[in-house]
Amino acid sequence: MDTGQIKQMFIRKFGESAIGPSVFHAPGRVNLIGEHIDYNGGYVLPAALEFGTTLVIREREDGLIRLASTNMPEEAEIKLGEIGLNKSGQWTDYPVGVMVELAERGFPVSKGYDLFYHGEIPNGAGLSSSASIEVVTGYGLLAMGGYDRDTVQIALLSQAAENNFVGVNCGIMDQFAVANGKKDHAILLMCDTLEYKHVPFQTGSYKLVIGNTNKRRGLVDSKYNERREQCAAALERLRSCKADLSYLAELTPSQFEDFKSALTDETVRNRAQHVIEENARVLASVEALTANDLEEFGRLMNLSHDSLRDLYEVSCDELDVMVEEARKIPGTLGARMTGAGFGGCTVSLVHEDDVERFVREVGENYRARTGLTGDFYVCGVGEGVE
Ligand code: GLA
């Protein structure tokens, strides 16, 4: 759907008015490598997608905030003085949470608005549809209020909305990628300091293929929190070897070799090993991409998946089957799960001549082995919020 069509739907929903509506857009994101690293203070390498969430906003005279969407049935109507007093348990909690955080930071929503969302990201697939809604709301409302739009601050307040209002204990990666993406570039983000740089993502005749397992991500929140607790436990124990350790990802793999006997619980040790080695793989990936060594990058993607499956244990049968099938295609350089895990999507780097075959064969074999139908998106890297 193009912007003109979304505006028409907006007018059908909210009616004509002398004031023209404004349009904003935030992408989804795919994490290329660096999984379950953001809350461990290390490096991640996500990229913005070419599809995302479009937001049409128009001011209202009567101090009401109204929220509606083209692709989700729930709507909300909130009086200016009552923002954040109630949670609905629906998608509208994301924008409301952002309004609460804006007010906390001295940018209260002080006028009524109609807000109309059009989402192109499959919900719950691990491509950050919620971060996209949050970031586009923060950016759009700041713009409408005549405020500056600092995209790092917008990422932070969007994460805070998710942590505090929605109640999901996520790290900073998703909101940061959505807010600060750049076309044809990945973002190397240091999650402790939020220093970042855009790394050219030029894959020549290779394409990124995202595979949606369409497996519902059951238990993802409780398992996610459990992983965070296990990492905190590992950190606590490792402080007996290195008192000034602030985050797990500060350790190099060779330091970990020296200290790992302090982690007597095998599960906790495995979690820590994943984090420390995955962090090193992110830096190695940046070197490989900079040197245009896509084969090496693909190899690191494969290692990342295997570690998420065996050490961090956040994969699931559906993700493993899709990755296995992806790796059977000769033009696949690497394939891994992306995002929190327990369902959601895979990401593969595939030679353009083999993409059709990939979609057909991985799709057929995935269906035969799991009974589920996967969806595939061949996609480039898009811009951040605008
Ligand atoms: C989810 C969270 C992120 C990050 C990833 C795992 O997407 O929202 O903060 O922790 O999982 O890398």
The amino acid that residue 284 corresponds to is: A
pLDDT of residue 218: 66
Angle between helix axes 317-328 and 294-310 (nearest 10 degrees) is: 150
- The average pLDDT across 107-123 equals 96
Q: Would the pTM of this model clear 0.85, i.e. be above it?
A: yes
pLDDT band at 198 (very low <50, low <70, confident <90, very high): very high
pLDDT in tens, 217-227: 766 788 999 99
Residue whose pair of structure tokens reads 């995935």 in the numeric block? 366
Class at the top of the CATH hierarchy for domain 219-314 = alpha beta
pLDDT of residue 216: 79
Note the CATH number of domain 3-200: 3.30.230.10
In the reported structure, the alpha carbon of residue 8 is separated from the centroid of ligand 1 by a whole-number distance in angstroms of 35
Give dist(CA 220, CA 248) in Å, integer.
22
In the reported structure, the alpha carbon of residue 368 is separated from the centroid of ligand 1 by a whole-number distance in angstroms of 30
Class at the top of the CATH hierarchy for domain 203-215+316-380 = alpha beta
Task: Evaluate if residue 71 carries a pLDDT over 80.
Answer: yes
pLDDT of residue 94: 98
Catalytic residue among 174, 244, 293, 354, which?
174
Q: Determine if ligand 1 sits within 6 Å of the CB of residue 33.
A: no
Percent of the chain at pLDDT > 70 equals 99
pLDDT of residue 220: 72
Residues 6+ apart with CB under 8 A from 306: none
pLDDT of residue 124: 85
- Average pLDDT, whole number, for the chain? 97
pLDDT in tens, 365-378: 999 999 999 999 99
- Residue 174: active-site member: yes
Domains 3-200 and 219-314 share a fold: no
Please report, in range form, the residues annotated as the binding site for ATP.
69, 124-130
pLDDT band at 123 (very low <50, low <70, confident <90, very high): confident
pLDDT in tens, 9-23: 999 999 999 899 999
pLDDT of residue 127: 96
Q: Determine if ligand 1 sits within 6 Å of the CB of residue 339.
A: yes
- The average pLDDT across 188-193 equals 98
pLDDT in tens, 239-298: 999 999 999 999 999 999 999 999 999 999 999 999 999 999 999 999 999 999 999 999
Angle between helix axes 220-238 and 266-290 (nearest 10 degrees) is: 90
DSSP SS3 for 337: strand
| Candidate of 174, 189, 312, 338 to mutate for ligand 1, largest count of ligand atoms within 8 Å of Cβ | 174
Domain residue ranges in the chain: 3-200, 203-215+316-380, 219-314
Give dist(CA 199, CA 378) in Å, integer.
20
Give dist(CA 343, CA 354) in Å, integer.
25
